[in-house]
């Protein structure tokens, strides 16, 4: 016996509706994946930036805490490749910061160097000569080590005991500050303020009191 039932086929409209629904589902999946990837990337970037800032702060704190007794600090703005560079010179630097001269008694430059993209990279380099044209040549030709990239602005300030106003200029003739403050603003607008204590030098002939 022959069956009289006929199978009902999909119409063109039903096929189009199914394709639209499928495309919407696929688009939604891609959107969720893209949002998740972007969020994970932002979280990773934030964590890396925080770790970089912590390491930078630890390094500078070690430098200032271990300054030699005769260390001289000079703050200046010099012409560098790409524009002006805010530079802090320390001479002599702590021995553990002599990483390129092959001996002790080297100086250390902490400079905000233009990166050619409208921002700066906080970098450091060694030099051997205390002052003069030889020092400038050594600094210009130094092998710079980048510490903190994507910096919008850098501001150094210096404090003395009993003086509420911080000084924004400093040179070796000013003596030894009690603490140093560094304000950094990154390209993304994030800002940080670091304060570093500087050991007080004992006066000549001073004796430790006995109990």
Predicted confidence at residue 4, as pLDDT, reads: 52
- 76-83 contacts at long range (C-beta below 8 A, 24 or more positions apart): 76/171, 78/139, 80/111, 80/113, 80/114, 80/140, 81/113, 81/114, 82/113, 82/114, 82/115, 82/116, 83/114
Each residue's pLDDT tens digit, 125-181 = 999 998 899 999 999 999 999 999 999 999 999 999 888 899 999 998 888 899 999
Distance CA(38)–CA(44), nearest Å, equals 10
Number of domains in the chain: 1
For residue 7, is it within any domain?
A: no
For residue 140, is it within any domain?
A: yes
For residue 75, is it within any domain?
A: yes
For residue 4, is it within any domain?
A: no
For residue 49, is it within any domain?
A: no
Each residue's pLDDT tens digit, 181-198 = 999 999 888 899 999 999
For residue 149, is it within any domain?
A: yes
Q: Where are the beta strands (DSSP E) in 41-144?
A: 72-80, 83-91, 107-114, 120-127
State the pLDDT confidence band at 11, using cuts at 50, 70 and 90.
Answer: confident
Global pTM reads 0.74
Is the pLDDT assigned to residue 1 strictly greater than 60? no
For residue 162, is it within any domain?
A: yes
For residue 77, is it within any domain?
A: yes
Residue 130's domain spans which residues?
57-197
Predicted confidence at residue 205, as pLDDT, reads: 46
Mean pLDDT across the stretch 19-41?
Answer: 76
């Amino acid at each position: 016996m022959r069956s009289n039932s006929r199978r009902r086929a999909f119409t063109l409209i039903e096929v189009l509706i199914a394709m639209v629904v499928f495309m919407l589902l696929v688009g939604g999946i891609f959107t969720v994946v893209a949002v998740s990837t972007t969020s994970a990337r932002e979280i990773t970037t934030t964590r890396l930036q925080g770790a970089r800032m912590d390491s930078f702060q630890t390094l500078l704190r070690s430098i200032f805490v271990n300054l030699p007794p005769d260390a001289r600090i000079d703050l200046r703005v010099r012409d560098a490749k790409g524009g002006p560079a805010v530079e802090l010179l320390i001479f002599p630097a702590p021995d553990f910061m002599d990483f390129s001269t092959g001996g002790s008694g080297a100086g250390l430059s902490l400079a905000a160097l233009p990166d050619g993209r409208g921002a700066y990279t906080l970098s450091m380099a060694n030099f051997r000569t205390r002052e003069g044209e030889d020092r400038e040549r050594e600094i210009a030709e130094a092998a710079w080590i980048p510490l903190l990239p994507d910096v919008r602005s850098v501001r150094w300030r210096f404090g003395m005991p009993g003086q509420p106003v911080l000084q924004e200029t400093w040179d070796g003739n000013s003596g030894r500050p009690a603490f140093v403050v560094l304000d950094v603003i990154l390209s993304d607008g994030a800002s940080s303020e670091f304060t570093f204590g500087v050991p007080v030098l004992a006066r000549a002939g001073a004796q430790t009191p006995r109990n």
